[in-house]
Structure formats: C-alpha cells, structure tokens
C-alpha cells in the first residue's frame, strides 16, 4: 500500500448562518486588512457581496474590493491584484465566489510575497515559496474544490496557456459554505460542477493500486451520492438538502480524502485544461467531453502487458457495477466495462453535459487545433500525463481524435 500524508487544514463552516462568522474567522486567522476578491455579477446580484462587506465593517475589519474574475481566471487580473495588495498593505485575501475566484486569490497571495514574476511558479521555473498571504473563501459554487485544495489553475492570455500550481501553503484557512447561496446557479453550472467533483473522485478511483479498500468505498459513496443529488437540484434548484450534499461533496472530492493510499491519475484533467485554455469553455463540461474517449482508449490498451490490462479491466467493471448500476456479466467483463462507459455518457447527456468536443465547442475541431493541444499537454513533447495509463504525446493525440465527435 502506498504510504500517505493526509493534510486538510481548512476550517469548514457549513450551513445557513455560516456567513455571520466571517469577521471573526478573518481575525482568528490573522487578517487585519482584507482584499475581498470576487467574480462577475452573481455575488453582487444575490446581495452576498454587500452582506460580507457589511459583516466585515461591523466586525471592524478594513477591506478593499477587487472584482472581475472570469471563469478560467486570467493572469492579468491576478497581477493587478498583487499591485493592489502591495499598495494597500493587505494581509489576507477573502475570495467570494467559486474555483476561479479562489484560484485567482491564491495566485495573488503567492505573488504579493514573491520577488519575481508569479507566472514563473506556474511555469515551474521559480522555487517553491516559503510564505504567502493567507487565503479563505465564501464559496458560491461547489465544483473545483479549491476551497480546500492545494491547487490553483491560472490562464495566461498570452498564448492561451492554462497551468496549475500546487503547494500545501495555499490550502485556504477557512471555507464558508451556505448551500442556500447555490440556489441561483444556472443548470449548466450546476451540472458542470457535479461533473468536475465526480471527476476529481474518478481521477483517484482509476488507479492500479487496489489495497486501500476504504478509499475505494469512500469514492464510490461520493460518486453515487453526487449522481443522485444532481437530478434533484436540476428539478428543484431550491432543494436545500440536496444542494448541501453537493456542496460538501465538492470539498470531499478534492481535499485528498478519496486519494489516500493510492496513486492518482489526472490525465483527463490535463487533457481538459488544454480545451478550456484554448476555447475558454467551462472546465466541468470539458471533462465530460474527454472522459469517455480517455476511458475507451485506456480500457482497450494492451501495450502495458496482460497483468496491467486485467487490473484496469477489473477497475472499469467495478465502476460499471458499483457506480453506474450495470449488471455484472461475469462471462463478459469487457462488455460490462463498456456498458459502464456508455452509462456514464447517458448520465452526462441527461444532465446537459457534452460527451465529445464537437458537442462542447459547437463545431468540428481542426487537426491543427488537436496538434496544438497535444503540443501544450505534452509540454512540447517532453512530458507524459496520467498514472493508471501513462500517456505520451501520441496517446494524447489519439484520445483528442477519438473525442472529436
């Protein structure tokens, strides 16, 4: 069994009255002057931004505001935020929003404490920082899991390059989660969010390690619960109970719990980041467009030998039976596995997600675009991705071609 460290230091403050604690929490974690960072209009329209600012005022916590974070958050705004924080002597960043706002906040928090250019961290050119400003969030969309994760993903508009950087320092100090705030999510964002959190679980579930049974059990519980809850909230967006399952599920899916004792994969994520980097699509929808092709490619691969193929096959069968409710045909494990992938495609369509790139971007992807994504995903043909099946540039290109639709 793989040894592991499990580190999830974020204080989760969950429930209908959770926002009321915001000023006390900022002070508890050492904030004396706050950057309130937010996205487009959703937090303004819902009154959440005003409420949070009012509560900080009442609690005697000075703050400045910086809005305008867009999905697939941009480096240019983070750079603006770094300058603003230095000018205003900010020592704490509060993200009011989703993964994009939280990731932008993390990028700013690194940059303020760095001598050089923050983008060098994402390029892997800078040394890991010794310190950064503390970050916390008031979460408005369960999806990316950034409210508890060590990752941030930033898009540099110059070249449409989307890169992630991970460091335990950036795990947020606290996450305020009020499921009621997610009632206003459009169906597409709700479904893309659930797709993303399920994929965070699946990136860990599809592993060649099989001895940490509890991790696998937990992953299946998360997947089954999210799969059921999403239909309830699409039918009734104000279903507090099911919104709560999804909100907590998004954090559990990406705070490391479903990855203890196993080697995780992340190939679908890396393949997808090139799609959202190039076409500015919603991350969760991009994952749905890639996963079925990744799954079929990996399942049919025989190049790593019969033992590894058998291990992969048994994992796909287990997924089909335990998660997708496919009857187990013991005489035809490959057929059972294939039915699991087909069931996942039906699920994606049922919640309004695409299952290929054509459905995602609304047109045929060109050969040049596939080659460009392959070049970027393989870091100019120098890097592989994935662990369940290690993908080289040729594999990546083949999967993009299968996924074109």
Interface with ligand NZQ in residues 226-255 (CB under 6 A): 254
By a kind-dependent CB cut-off of 5 to 8 A, residue 97 interacts, out of ligand NZQ, Zn ion, none, with ligand NZQ
Please name the residue that has the structure tokens 């045909």. 329
The span of 10-18, 84-92, 99-107, 353-361 binding ligand NZQ (CB under 6 A) equals 99-107
112 contacts which partner out of ligand NZQ, Zn ion, none, CB within 5 to 8 A by kind? Answer: none
Q: Which residues of 189-200 are buried (b: 16+ CB within 10 A; e: fewer)?
A: bbbbbbbbbbbb
The site partner of 397 among Zn ion, ligand NZQ, none (C-beta below 5 to 8 Å per kind) is none
Give the separation between CA 378 and CA 390, rounded to whole angstroms.
12
Output 61 or 141, the one with its CB closest to ligand NZQ: 141
Query: Does 26 interact with ligand NZQ (rule: CB under 6 A)?
Result: no
Block residue for tokens 């991350």: 283
- Look at residue 386 and give the partner it binds from ligand NZQ, Zn ion, none, a contact being a CB closer than 5 to 8 Å depending on partner kind: none
Tokens of 257: 């719990």
User: Which one among 94, 101, 278, 373 touches ligand NZQ, defined by CB under 6 A?
Assistant: 101
Question: Which of 171, 173, 174, 193 has its CA nearest to residue 182?
Answer: 193
Among 53, 107, 108, 141, contact with ligand NZQ (rule: CB under 6 A): 141
Number of residues that bind ligand NZQ (CB under 6 A): 35
Report whether 38 contacts 101 (CB < 8 A): yes
Q: For residues 336 and 333, give the distance between their C-alpha atoms in angstroms, rounded to a whole number.
A: 5
Q: Which one among 93, 108, 144, 281 touches ligand NZQ, defined by CB under 6 A?
A: 144
Contact 88, 33 (CB under 8 A): yes
Q: Which is nearer to Zn ion, 288 or 357 (CB)?
A: 288
Cβ at position 186, least distance to ligand NZQ in Å: 6
Q: Which of residues 175-194 bind ligand NZQ (CB under 6 A)?
A: 181-182, 184-185, 189, 193
Q: Which does 258 bind (CB under 5 to 8 A by kind): Zn ion, ligand NZQ, none?
A: none
Residues in 183-222 that interact with Zn ion by CB under 5 A: 196
Longest pairwise C-alpha distance within the chain:
68
By the rule CB under 6 A, 283 interacts with ligand NZQ: yes
Query: Taking the CA atoms of the chain, what radius of gyration do you get in angstroms?
Result: 21
SS (H, E, C) 197-211: HHHHHHHHHCCCCCC
Which is closer to ligand NZQ, CB of 201 or CB of 276?
Answer: 276
What does 185 interact with, of Zn ion, ligand NZQ, none (CB < 5 to 8 A by kind)? ligand NZQ
DSSP calls for 209-255:
----HHHHHHHHHHHHHHHHHHHHHHH-TT-HHHHHHHHHHHHHTTS
User: Which of the stretches 28-36, 110-118, 139-147, 369-377 binds ligand NZQ when contact is defined by CB under 6 A?
Assistant: 139-147
Asked if 299 and 317 count as a contact pair (C-beta separation under 8 A), the reply is no
Residue 159 contacts by C-beta under 8 Å, 6 or more apart in sequence? none
Q: Which is nearer to ligand NZQ, 264 or 317 (CB)?
A: 264
- Binding partner of residue 255 among ligand NZQ, Zn ion, none, CB under 5 to 8 Å per kind? none
Q: Which of 323, 182, 309, 169 is nearest to 258 (CA)?
A: 323
**Contact between 13 and 55 (Cβ < 8 Å):** no
- Assess 152 for contact with ligand NZQ (CB under 6 A): yes
- 170 vs 207, beta carbon nearer ligand NZQ: 170
Cβ atoms of residues 233 and 179 within 8 Å: no
Q: Do the Cβ atoms of 202 and 223 come closer than 8 Å?
A: yes
Tell me the closest approach of the beta carbon of residue 201 to Zn ion, in angstroms: 10
Q: Are 193 and 33 in contact (CB under 8 A)?
A: no
CB of 53 or CB of 257, closer to Zn ion: 257
- Which one, 189 or 322, has the nearer CB to ligand NZQ? 189
Q: Which residues form the interface with Zn ion (CB under 5 A)?
A: 196
Which residues bind to ligand NZQ, rule: CB under 6 A? 39-43, 71-72, 97-101, 103, 140-141, 143-146, 149, 151-153, 181-182, 184-185, 189, 193, 196, 254, 269, 276, 283-284
């Amino acid at each position: 069994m793989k040894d592991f460290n499990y580190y999830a230091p974020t204080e989760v403050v969950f429930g209908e009255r959770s926002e009321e604690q915001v000023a006390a929490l900022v002070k508890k974690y050492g904030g004396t002057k706050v950057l309130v960072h937010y996205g487009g209009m959703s937090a303004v329209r819902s009154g959440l931004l005003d409420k949070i600012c009012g509560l900080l005022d009442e609690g005697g916590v000075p703050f400045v505001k910086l809005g305008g974070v867009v999905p697939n958050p941009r480096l240019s705004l983070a750079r603006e935020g770094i300058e603003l924080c230095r000018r205003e002597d900010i020592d704490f960043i509060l993200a009011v929003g989703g993964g994009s706002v939280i990731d932008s906040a993390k990028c700013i928090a690194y940059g303020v404490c760095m001598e050089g250019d923050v983008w060098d961290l994402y390029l892997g050119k800078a040394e890991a920082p010794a310190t950064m400003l503390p970050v916390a969030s008031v979460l408005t969309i369960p999806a990316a899991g950034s409210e508890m994760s060590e990752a941030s993903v930033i898009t540099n508009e110059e070249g449409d390059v989307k890169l992630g950087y991970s460091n335990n320092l950036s795990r947020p100090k606290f996450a305020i989660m009020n499921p009621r705030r997610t009632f206003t999510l459009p169906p597409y964002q709700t479904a893309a969010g659930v797709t993303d959190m399920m994929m965070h679980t699946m990136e860990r579930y599809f592993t060649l390690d099989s001895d940490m049974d509890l991790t696998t059990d937990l992953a299946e519980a998360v997947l089954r619960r999210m799969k059921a809850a999403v239909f309830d909230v699409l039918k009734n967006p104000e279903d507090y109970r099911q919104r709560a399952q999804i909100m907590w599920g998004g954090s559990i899916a990406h705070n490391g719990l479903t990855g203890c004792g196993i080697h995780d994969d992340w190939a679908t994520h890396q393949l997808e980041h090139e799609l959202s980097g190039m076409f500015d699509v919603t991350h969760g929808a991009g994952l749905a467009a890639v996963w079925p092709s990744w799954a079929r490619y990996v399942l049919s691969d025989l190049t790593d030998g019969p033992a590894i193929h058998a291990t992969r096959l048994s994992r796909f069968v287990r997924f089909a039976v335990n998660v997708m409710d496919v009857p187990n045909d013991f005489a035809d494990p490959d057929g059972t596995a294939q039915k699991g992938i087909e069931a996942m495609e039906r699920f994606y369509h049922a919640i309004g997600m695409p299952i290929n790139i054509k459905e995602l971007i609304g047109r045929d992807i060109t050969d040049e675009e596939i080659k460009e994504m392959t070049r970027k995903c393989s870091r100019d043909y120098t890097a592989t991705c994935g662990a369940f099946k290690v993908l080289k540039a040729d594999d990546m290109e083949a999967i993009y071609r299968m996924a074109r639709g």
